[in-house]
Amino acid sequence: MKTFISAIAVATVLALPAAAQQDEPDVASLVDDVTTIAQGLEGRIETLSAQMAEASDLEAGTKALDEMLAAAREVYDSLNRDSELWDEMNGMLDTWSERRDDLLERAADIPQLKEVADGWQGRIDRGITLRQQITEQAAESQALIAQIEDQREVIVAYYEAALADQALATMEAMSAELGTMNEKMSGILTQANLVAETPSVSQE
């Protein structure tokens, strides 16, 4: 039977430098940021749904289209490579990688540290998965922004020709992509919470 113990606690006992403890990334802040983004998108979609239900004319349809575009832009601005979240995440991974490398080096003299380093590697791997999910979500939101902007003239033309049904069908297709993004944000939030878990090692 295996007993699971916190790698952070083990690292402290096995002389992990005090400076490293002080430099611990604020993972809770990362989770909070992802939560805020996910909640923001969900709120936008709820607003959009109400606006779409009333989009029977050009003015209402344009309002819904603007809300859709704002939702996609908000996601992109929050997740792209120039975002604060991206810098926060990369800084976190860099810190953990340095910690892992230091532990592996010292494991030559203290073999138990290898297990601790492996625990950090697991956390790094989860962080890399999170970063990939965020990268994909940013790319999808950017593509949706371009699609909405490209279809704006078509939608306006439909309304002006009294073809509201066609305009709504076009917007609903793009709105469905926002719904898919919303589902993926839930997955990103789940992964962020996994990253926030302290690494653990097992001993017999």
Summary mean pLDDT of the chain: 88
CA distance 161 to 176: 24
Predicted model pTM: 0.84
Rounded mean pLDDT of 131-160? 97
What pLDDT, in 10s, does the model give residues 106-119? 999 999 999 999 99
Burial of 7 (0-12, 13-18, 19+ CB in 10 A): buried
Over range 160-169, report the average pLDDT: 96
Q: Give the pair of three-digit tokens for residue 66.
A: 């603007």
Share of the chain above pLDDT 90, in %: 83
- Residue 147 one-letter amino acid: Q
What pLDDT does 25 receive? 76
Domain ranges within the chain, ordered by starting residue:
26-84+122-194
Handedness of CA 128, 130, 136, 138 (dihedral sign): negative
* Alpha carbon distance 103, 118 (integer Å): 9
Whole-number Cα distances in Å, 108 to 56, 112, 114, 138: 71, 9, 8, 41
- Give tens-digit pLDDT for 26-53: 899 999 999 999 999 999 999 999 999 9
Q: Mind listing the pLDDT tens digit for each residue in 64-117?
A: 999 999 999 999 999 999 999 999 999 999 999 999 999 999 999 999 999 999
Give yes or no for a contact between 60 and 54, defined as CB atoms under 8 angstroms apart: yes
Separation CA 177–CA 198 (nearest Å): 34
Q: Is 55 exposed, middle or buried (0-12, 13-18, 19+ CB in 10 A)?
A: buried
